[in-house]
Structures are given as structure tokens and as C-alpha cells.
Amino acid sequence: ASTINLPDTVGYAEPQEYGRLIGRLMQAIPNADKAVFSVHCHNDLGLAVANSLAAVLEGARQVECTINGLGERAGNASLEEIVMAVRTRADVFPVETRIDATQIVPTSRLVSTVTGFPVQPNKAIVGANAFAHESGIHQDGVLKYRETYEIMRAEDVGWNTNKLVLGKHSGRAAFKARLTELGISFASDEAFNDAFTRFKDLADKKHEIFDEDLQALVSEVVPADSGEKYRFVGLESHSRTGQKPQAKLRIAVDGSEEFVEAEGDGPVDAAFKAVEQLANSGATLKLYSVNAITQGTDSQGEVTVRLEKDNVIVNGNGADTDIIVASVKAYLNALNLLASGIMRTHPQKEGV
């Protein structure tokens, strides 16, 4: 065996105990130098990262971890926290990871979008408030000498210090330049033009356009040859206390516009029932998640819809300043994935 893994699968260990375990085994096993000792810690007591780092100090050289600390129950050790702890405290940890830390935040956002699990604002490294300073004494200290209250630079992990970049008067050149800075490119001029049109539409609704808005906007661009079956055209929604909410939808199906309406327990439920009345997909809704992309009441809502059909699960995403519209877009996106065959079998359904 070239790798020996010692997991704390139930998250019961504490750092000193777990570190001693790794150290004792590496000393007691005669040929311990012939294998890499690996650790796998769960976060049930909030100690997954601490346990993993304690093991590294005792000689472990592989840490099993996840983006945003995702995992069953309370999750696993957080990759971003492990990486930045080792990098920031090089005086303590005699190791390096060779990970490009500037990709941490973009990867975190991608994983959050795909899974539908938003990152809490006060999450270390990748949370929206991780590098925010509200206290007056903290602000004063940061302005005078950043290292006073910031032990690492926001840009080193992929945050952009210039959060507000574009507005309704911005042109194609500025739009393209900002996307290039964010590492976003397009396969064709048509895809870029589609993204720019969406940007202009968003700028008419929203005064301030943030990087997060751009990334959500670009994620909605659909390749011309993708064979998109369903496309959102328009929505009329009615919700009033004491009355059954209604949704009237106009959806393009294979290029032909269809009109459909339905009632539901709420405006989102009514909209989804209207879509299903048209699509009749037979899919089961497994997850509906809403997350505000940025701050303010005009923030875009980012919606994730997870559908399951015939042991296949897909995640659809949609974003808009109108939550109901974003919800419909996400549902249609999931239906398009089911229709196109871009899907994966749910591992639990295969007995894995």
C-alpha cells in the first residue's frame, strides 16, 4: 500500500488526540516511510480542519477535504481553510500544497452554484464577509497598515478588491475586459453577444453590477448548438392575501411559443405547476434553493432546482432580480438538461 488513510468518519476526535494517533503510528510502524499517511476528518464538532492540521504536524502528507467543507452531516474538512492555513502559517507547517490559491473563490462559487448550497457570509476564506471590516478601529488599522487586521490578501484567494465594475453605460470593450479579468471567455461571438445583451438587460434593472452578477449572468448563456428545448419568454404572476396565487407563462418549446397558466400554494409553486402542465416531465423536485447573489433589495436571486427522474438527477440554475423569474429559468434549465441527456446517475441509486 502506497497510501494509508486514517479517517475520523464520525468527527469525534480532538486535535491533540488525533495528532498523537498519527505520530504514534508513524513511529511504531517500522516501514512507515514507505507510504503516505492520509487523513479524512468530518466536522461534527467543528474540528475537522484543526484535526487535519494536527495530523500534518505529526507527519501526515495527504489531507482529504472538500470545497466549502461540503459533506454529509456537518461536512468534511474545508479545502480552502487547509490550504490557506498552511500557506499563511508557513512558520508552523513545514509543507506546501502547490494549489493555485487564486482559484479558490471562483471554485467555491462554482461548487455553490452546482450544488445549490450557498456559502454563509461569515465562512472563512470564501464567505462574502471574510475580508470585510465594519468595526471603526479595524477599519482604521487596515487603512494604516493592512497586516494589522488582515493576515492574508483577499486577491490571493481569488477575491477582487474592485467589487463594483460596470453599469448601464458601460460598453462592449469594458464588459469584455472585466470578464477577461475574471477568467471568463466565450467560444463564439454569438455567445459573447448573448451575454452582453443579458448584461444590458440586467443593468436596466440594477444600478450596481458586481462580479458575482457577471458570473451568474454568463452561466445562463446557452450555446447556439445546444438544442435548448425550453426557453423562458415571459411571466405574469398574481399573489394576494386570501386568494390562490396564479402564474401565467409564455415559454418557447422547440422555438414555438406556448402560453400556459396554473394556480399553486404560492407564486413559485404556481409557476412550477404551469411549467409542468406544459412539459409533463414526470420528474420529482428534490431541491429548491434561493440565494441573494449580492447585497441590496435589487440584488439578483440565484435559484437552484434539482430534479430527479428515472434514477437520474440534474441541477438547473437561474438568476434574475425577480425571484419568480429566476425560479422558472432554473426549472427550465433542469428540464433542458433532462431533455438533452447532459446528466449523471445519482450515486446512491447505483448502490455506490
Q: Is residue 206 part of a domain?
A: yes
How far apart are the C-alpha atoms of 182 and 175, rounded to whole Å?
11
Condensed to tens digits (0 to 9), the pLDDT of residues 150-187 reads: 667 877 787 765 444 567 777 777 788 777 877 777 77
Q: What is the pLDDT of residue 22?
A: 96
What's the whole-number mean pLDDT along residues 65-93? Answer: 94
Q: Based on the fold, state whether residues 30 and 80 are members of the same structural domain.
A: yes
Does the structure show a pLDDT above 80 at 84? Answer: yes
Backbone angles phi, psi at 61, to 5 degrees: -125, 10
| Last-in-domain residue among 173, 188, 219 | 219
Q: Based on the fold, state whether residues 239 and 340 are members of the same structural domain.
A: yes
- Give the bridge partners for 251, in sequence order: 232, 258
Q: Based on the fold, state whether residues 105 and 95 are members of the same structural domain.
A: no
Point out the least confidently predicted range of 109-113, 273-277, 301-305. 109-113
Q: Based on the fold, state whether residues 342 and 237 are members of the same structural domain.
A: yes
Q: Based on the fold, state whether residues 266 and 241 are members of the same structural domain.
A: yes
What's the whole-number mean pLDDT along residues 319-339? Answer: 90
| The amino acid at 232 | F
3-state secondary structure of 235: strand
Backbone angles phi, psi at 213, to 5 degrees: -65, -45
Q: Based on the fold, state whether residues 114 and 46 are members of the same structural domain.
A: no
How far apart are the C-alpha atoms of 121 and 131, rounded to whole Å?
10
Sheet hosting strand 256-263, strand order edge to edge: 230-238, 246-253, 256-263
How far apart are the C-alpha atoms of 285 and 306, rounded to whole Å?
6
Q: What is the pLDDT of residue 68?
A: 95
Range of the domain at 134: 101-156
Q: Based on the fold, state whether residues 145 and 208 are members of the same structural domain.
A: no
| Last-in-domain residue among 200, 219, 238 | 219
Q: Based on the fold, state whether residues 200 and 150 are members of the same structural domain.
A: no
Q: Is residue 224 part of a domain?
A: no
Q: Based on the fold, state whether residues 147 and 180 are members of the same structural domain.
A: no
How many domains does the structure of the chain reveal?
A: 4
Q: Is residue 134 part of a domain?
A: yes
